[in-house]
């Protein structure tokens, strides 16, 4: 397994609004640009099925913990664990992704992916819907 990592960035919306966006398939897709699904049992997909998993813990406006994997994980590897923390800051929310238990060699790509495919598009999305 790769070493755990953490990436953070600010998003121009309240912690509760950003939290809820992760659990609403339509908003999740709109803010990231990739199709998403969310089921009542906590299972989800994102980026057209590239990402799949289930929500293990949800504290509204504070954190999400998910069992998380992509189609690039070897089938024999267990799900990784993703924690997403939401902290109120001036002008919005500090979103922190803490990711662990990723397959060997994949951690650096996912660390950059959280910035490129989530933090940057999320900030642009919330900036555009609040204008």
Look up the CATH number of the domain holding residue 101: 3.30.530.20
What pTM was computed for the model?
Answer: 0.94
pLDDT of residue 3: 86
When divided into structural domains, the chain yields a total of 1
The distance in angstroms from the start CA to the end CA of the chain is: 42
For 122, the domain range is 5-19+56-130
* Domain assignment of residue 39, yes or no: no
Question: What pLDDT digit, counting tens, does each position of 67-123 carry?
Answer: 999 999 999 999 999 999 999 999 999 999 999 999 998 888 889 999 999 999 999
Q: What share of the chain is helix, strand, coil (3-state, %, to 5)?
A: 35, 35, 30
* Domain assignment of residue 77, yes or no: yes
* Domain assignment of residue 81, yes or no: yes
* Domain assignment of residue 44, yes or no: no
pLDDT of residue 106: 87
* Domain assignment of residue 94, yes or no: yes
pLDDT of residue 131: 52
pLDDT at 130 over 80: no
Is pLDDT larger for residue 123 or for residue 131? 123
Are 52 and 43 in contact by the 8 Å Cβ rule? The answer is yes
In 3D space, the residue among 119, 79, 71 whose CA is nearest the CA of residue 99 turns out to be 79
* Domain assignment of residue 27, yes or no: no
pLDDT of residue 8: 97
* Domain assignment of residue 15, yes or no: yes
Question: What pLDDT digit, counting tens, does each position of 24-71 carry?
Answer: 999 999 999 999 999 999 999 999 999 999 999 999 999 999 999 999
């Amino acid at each position: 397994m790769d070493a755990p990592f953490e990436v953070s960035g600010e998003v121009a919306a309240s912690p509760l609004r950003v939290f809820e966006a992760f659990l609403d398939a339509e908003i999740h897709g709109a803010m990231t640009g990739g199709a998403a699904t969310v089921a009542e049992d906590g299972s989800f997909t994102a980026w057209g099925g590239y990402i799949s998993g289930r929500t293990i813990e949800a504290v509204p406006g504070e954190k999400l913990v998910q069992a998380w994997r992509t189609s690039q994980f070897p089938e024999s590897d267990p799900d990784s664990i993703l924690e997403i923390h939401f902290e109120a800051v001036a002008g919005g929310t500090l979103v922190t992704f803490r990711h662990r238990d990723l397959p060997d060699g994949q951690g650096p790509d996912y660390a950059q992916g959280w910035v490129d495919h989530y933090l940057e598009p999320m900030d642009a999305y919330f900036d555009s819907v609040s204008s």
